[in-house]
Amino acid sequence: MRKIKLLFSCLLFASMLQAQETFPVNGIADKRDGCFAFTNATIVKDAQTTITNATLVIREGKILAVGAGIAIPKDATVIDCKDKFIYPSFIDIYTDYGIPQPQRAQGPGLTNPQDFFRAQQSQSLASTQKGAYGWNAALKADVDAVRIFTVDEARAKPYRETGFGTVLTHQKDGMVRGTGAVVSLANEKENLVIIKEKASANYSFSKGTSTQSYPSSMMGNIALLRQTYLDAAWYKSNPAAAKEEGINLTLKNFNDNQALPQIFDAQDRGTDLWNVMRADRIGDEAGVQYIIKATGKEYQRIKDVAATKAPLIVNVNFPQAQDVEDPNDARLVSLADMKAWELAPTNPASIEKAGIPFCLTAADLRDPKTFLTNLRKAIEYGLTEKAAMDALTKNPATWLGVYDKVGSIDAGKMANFVITTAPIFSDRSTILQNWIQGEKYAVREDAWYSVAGTYNLVVNSNAGTQTYTLDVKSNSQANIIGKDTVAARFSFDGKAIKIGYATGQRRRTLPAGMGGGFAGGAGGFGAASAPVTLPANATRLTGFSNGNTWNGTGVDSTGYAVTWSASLISLTTAKIDSAKSKPIPKTGGSFYPFTAFGNSDSTVPKQETVLFKNATVWTSEKAGKIEGGDVLVKNGKIVKVGKGLSDASARVIDATGKHLTAGLIDEHSHIASASTNEGGQSVTSEVRIQDNLDPDDINIYRQLSGGVTTSHILHGSANTIGGQTQLIKLRWGVNDEELKFKGADPFIKFALGENVKRSSSTQGNTRFPDTRMGVEQVLIDAFNRAKAYDAARKAAGGIAVRKDLELEALAEIMNKKRFITCHSYVASEILTTMRVAEKFGFRINTFTHILEGYKVADRMKEHGAAASTFSDWWAYKNEVQDAIPYNATIMTKVGLNVAINSDDAEMARRLNQEAAKSVKYGGLSEEEALRMVTINPAKMLHVDDKVGSIKEGKDADLVLWSDNPLSIYAKSLYTMVDGIIYFDREKDAAMRKQVKTERTRLIGKMVGEKRGGAPVSPFSPSYKYISTCLDHGHKLGMLEIDLEDLELNHANH
């Protein structure tokens, strides 16, 4: 079988124009130099230059000459391209064409759910890659696409038929993916189609087929890449490195590939828009400007995307309308998803308008053949044709350093071009042929000639001769005109003709003016109507075109054989409609964030001068509660606290009967981050929440509605030394960077007990530690290593000692530059951990959860630790059996700084009430209780100079409550951050109406799409992937999915 295949392919190659020098020929040599002249064409050399009535001459796969009135070589075969258009073939910069599907170490690739779970369960701590490679299997710097590339005609064909002639191909596997090669889509031997062996170095956020447990999160992905740049730099420039590391092919190749264009796929694993910014920041730190494969959502935050200065690779994979006719289905599709459907086609235009250099790609389309249809949609939505052309030719060619070979129609370049019936971005255009390396690939030969026109049809039968006028509308539509005019069944495929008709019975005829021109037949882009149905006794004729006359045979209505011929009377001249500029379709406006309750440009809240008059002011300071107090806010700060204040410039808010407090501070939160746990290892101090903030999380807005203004976003509790935390202010609508609480001390999350020993994992645990005894050792060992590292770094300086992000963070702790918030429950682990810290000369800043803190509160006080706890949680796992709601009260009375935290996006909306429970449980005063969610956490987080109380000079982070803030009946009327009112209950009421109106409009539009006959996809509920700390069960809403819960249960065994 194999032999036969081989023979077949040899035969194929023998017919090729360019035989290879070193390869023997089986048969008679047939060397041709492939000289062709394409005359009378409109040639678009590049996006800037169009020549009409021009000639293109090619020879031996190269362009010999192009222009108007150039000489045609005598040996050239002339192809008349009158009324045709010639364009450079497109280049797709993002493919894995001809690259075998990457295989997992332990089995097949990820092609079905069973594999997925098997793979998840077979993860290992160490790399399974054998050889002199690096430590992590997600780093595949050694892979060169050119070495594994094979010509794949089945995949090349659809690309060619869409107009592509050249692609960059690489193996889409891993975070560092090695190099990509530029290849043509010619069906030739590999040796001949490779244009550039190493044209790019590719990267992504997906670890691909790696079965290694680390990294398991977005933060981990970013940390691994950051560390790899450091390792590579060290490996390259430090002479000691070779001694310590030996030969590390991963790092060596990584370094070798740095000179190439660096392409980062930010889209892999979901379509999180912020991945573009995340990727760019990795590059910024390493001194690399990535070309970034965009997510398709750039229009949502185009300013932020433009600010990265990254050139983009943009797909045209626009979502289909969903079938939302059933209101119960529609109810579960979010405004953001519907809006993304509506606005996705504006993405390329939006990128162009922002001045971002970009390439277009057919990547992510289920069928590359839909590329042009979608691209035309993008053009309809404002993308200019010129930009589209550059994005498909010159830009990718230039970026990849192959513009001397491809990307335009210029003498000396490869003969890669497409011939079309009309301007290529017009709806009426059909690609006829795609020439690659001087070889013709037919796409739609039938459409080369239009047969639209009138013909004299003569049918000869036993009964005599009958004559009709055949009015051909297009290659698939015609009317027969005899006594009556009837619609015929008609087709012309470039050569063969079929005609069927039944006279004598009136049938629907084709409206005048329909069809004709260059429109293709069925399956083309022209208007194709349903085929005419014929009765059983219809006359059926078949034959061939011999130019202006057609001849053939058939049967008539009585079943007798007939012969027929048709001769041209006159062709319908195609009306080239002047590029009528259709108005850009109307869409709703955008908003920030791109979700319900986001603000439009006109409703974005601004910093104000505000005077709260006559409130009960809970200062959380020594001043206590001020009845009838006034607070003046200016330039984002509290400028005056007192009574009888006035300020002419201020907007006065009458707070009579209302209560004003400092914005609430949540010491323990997991909102607004794309991932929470990096559980791939027991020590992951290198990962940072700041790397994957998600400013679009609706929970920011929801928590503002509950009076929260500052949240400490923590790493989860999957491992002993977790990741670096990030303090944020709940500035709804800003970008990820602006979310950060500026100037706050950096913190890190540690965790102890059941979670880090993975007691509840359904798969058991093989990762050290498995006991609290082991947890102590993990801590001691980590700090021992960090101590040695810190000393070495300080002594050696520079790059002599490899910069290790993990140990760096631990050294910061010992140098009191970074502070710990430690997840903890039981007395033993609390004491043990304090002693480890003391041994290394630092303190645990905060114990969080700390449900048995009441048992060792005196020791914690001696140590100097603060406590951040839940009000009344217990009995959800073994280590919280002794948790009591009096915990906060006891710890407060012993003299600890105590906060009440949420660790839960829902409860954070009621943080004031959670604090109020300590009035009930143990009898704290109301003011003491409120301090547990204001000034106490501020102190714990070292930001009490800025927030946490109502004091002149502090940030204007304030909440005006309808009632006593400790009461269950209290609602936030205004929540202000930096003097900006981000939540306003009245405005919220108006926004609710807007959300409903906009939803109604979009549902109507989607339903209209379906009723208009457009393909729709089944409705898809807008699930929300939430990340939690993994500590306890979370009540999940109907559409909520706790992703990490699942991932961790399957990780690492």
Partner 1 sequence: MQKLIYTISSLLLLSGIATAQETIYPAKQQKGLLFITNGTVHVGNGTVIENATVKINNGKIEEVGTNIAVPADDVRVFNVKGKHVYPGLILPASSLGLVEITGVRSTTDVNEIGDVNPSIRSIAAYNADSKITNTLRSNGILLAHTAPQGSLVGGQSSVVQLDAWNEEDAAYAADMGVQLYMPSLLSRQGGRIGALLAQFGFGAQGDPTKDALDKIEAVKQFFREAKTYIGTDVKTPNLKFEATRALFAKKQKLFIHCSQVKQMLLAIDFVKEFGFDVVVIGASESYQIADLLKANNIGVILSQMHDLPTLDDDDVDQPYKTAAALQKAGVLFCINDDDPQNRGRNLAFNAGTAAAYGLTKEEALSAITLNTAKVLGIDNMTGSIEKGKDANIVVSEGDILDMKSSVVLHAFIQGRKIELSDKHKQLFERYKYKYGIK
Q: Interaction with partner 1 in 918-947: which residues (CB under 8 A)?
A: 919-922, 926
Phi and psi at residue 1042, in whole multiples of 5°? -90, 95
Residue 1049: closest CA among 815, 632, 760: 760
State which of residues 8, 23, 560, 876 lies at the interface with partner 1 (CB under 8 A): 876
Q: What is the DSSP letter of 61?
A: T
Residues 634-663 that bind partner 1 (CB under 8 A): none
Does 893 bind partner 1 (CB under 8 A)? Our answer is yes
Rounded Cα distance, 91 and 199, in Å: 13
Residue 932: closest CA among 922, 943, 924, 920: 924
Q: Contact at 8 Å (CB) between 662 and 958?
A: yes
> Exposed/middle/buried for 251, CB within 10 Å: 0-12, 13-18, 19+?
buried
Rounded Cα distance, 276 and 462, in Å: 75
Residues 705-744 that bind partner 1 (CB under 8 A): 705
Question: Is residue 215 reached through a cis peptide bond, with omega within 30 degrees of 0 on the bond before it?
Answer: yes
- Give me the sign of the Cα torsion angle 537, 538, 544, 549: positive
Residues 676-695 that bind partner 1 (CB under 8 A): none
Does 297 bind partner 1 (CB under 8 A)? Our answer is no
State which of residues 17, 905, 943, 1048 lies at the interface with partner 1 (CB under 8 A): 905
Residue 318: closest CA among 349, 353, 291, 356: 349
Residues 522-541 that bind partner 1 (CB under 8 A): none
Determine the interface stretch with partner 1 among 73-81, 509-517, 800-808, 1038-1046 (rule: CB under 8 A): 1038-1046
Three-state DSSP class for residue 990: helix
Torsion of CA 1035, 1038, 1042, 1046, to 10 degrees: 110
Residues 537-576 that bind partner 1 (CB under 8 A): none
Contact pattern for partner 1 over residues 982 through 1001, marking x by CB under 8 A? ------x---x--x---x--
- 596: which residues sit within 8 A by CB, 6+ positions away? 334, 335, 336, 698, 991, 995
Residues near partner 1 (CB under 8 A), total: 90
First to last CA, the chain: 42
Q: Which amino acid appears at position 299 of this protein?
A: Y
State which of residues 9, 53, 112, 237 lies at the interface with partner 1 (CB under 8 A): 112
Residue 524 or 663 with smaller CB distance to partner 1 = 663
Q: Contact at 8 Å (CB) between 759 and 774?
A: no
Report in angstroms how near the CB of residue 960 gets to partner 1 at its nearest. Answer: 16
Determine the interface stretch with partner 1 among 74-82, 138-146, 623-631, 902-910 (rule: CB under 8 A): 902-910
Residue 131: closest CA among 122, 141, 123, 145: 141
Helices (DSSP H) in 322-384: which residue ranges? 327-330, 335-343, 347-353, 371-380
State which of residues 110, 260, 411, 814 lies at the interface with partner 1 (CB under 8 A): 110
State which of residues 331, 575, 643, 816 lies at the interface with partner 1 (CB under 8 A): 331
Does 366 bind partner 1 (CB under 8 A)? Our answer is no
Residue 448 or 921 with smaller CB distance to partner 1 = 921
Does 910 bind partner 1 (CB under 8 A)? Our answer is yes
Determine the interface stretch with partner 1 among 292-300, 514-522, 716-724, 865-873 (rule: CB under 8 A): 865-873
Sequential DSSP letters for 698-752: HHHHHHHTTTEEEEEE---SSSSEEEE-EEEE--TT--TTTTB-TTPPPEEEEE-
Does 699 bind partner 1 (CB under 8 A)? Our answer is yes
Residue 823 or 910 with smaller CB distance to partner 1 = 910
State which of residues 188, 446, 678, 1047 lies at the interface with partner 1 (CB under 8 A): 1047
Sequential DSSP letters for 228-239: HHHHHHHHHH-H
H/E run at residue 917 = helix 911-920
Determine the interface stretch with partner 1 among 186-194, 621-629, 782-790, 883-891 (rule: CB under 8 A): 883-891
Phi and psi at residue 655, in whole multiples of 5°? -110, 25
Does 198 bind partner 1 (CB under 8 A)? Our answer is no
Residue 788 or 990 with smaller CB distance to partner 1 = 990
Sequential DSSP letters for 587-635: -PPP-BSSSTTPBPTTT---B--EEEEEEEEE-SSTT-EEEEEEEEEET
Does 1045 bind partner 1 (CB under 8 A)? Our answer is yes
Residues 210-229 that bind partner 1 (CB under 8 A): none
Report in angstroms how near the CB of residue 672 gets to partner 1 at its nearest. Answer: 13
Residues 956-985 that bind partner 1 (CB under 8 A): 964, 966-971
Residues 1-20 that bind partner 1 (CB under 8 A): none
Contact pattern for partner 1 over residues 578 through 617, marking x by CB under 8 A? -----------------xxx--------------------
Does 702 bind partner 1 (CB under 8 A)? Our answer is yes
Report in angstroms how near the CB of residue 655 gets to partner 1 at its nearest. Answer: 19
Report in angstroms how near the CB of residue 595 gets to partner 1 at its nearest. Answer: 5
State which of residues 519, 907, 941, 943 lies at the interface with partner 1 (CB under 8 A): 907
Residues 744-803 that bind partner 1 (CB under 8 A): 754, 759-760
Q: What angle, rounded to 10 degrees, do the helices at 274-286 and 218-237 form?
A: 20
Residue 65 or 1007 with smaller CB distance to partner 1 = 1007
Determine the interface stretch with partner 1 among 98-106, 248-256, 793-801, 1022-1030 (rule: CB under 8 A): 1022-1030
Residue 738 or 872 with smaller CB distance to partner 1 = 872
Residue 385 or 882 with smaller CB distance to partner 1 = 882
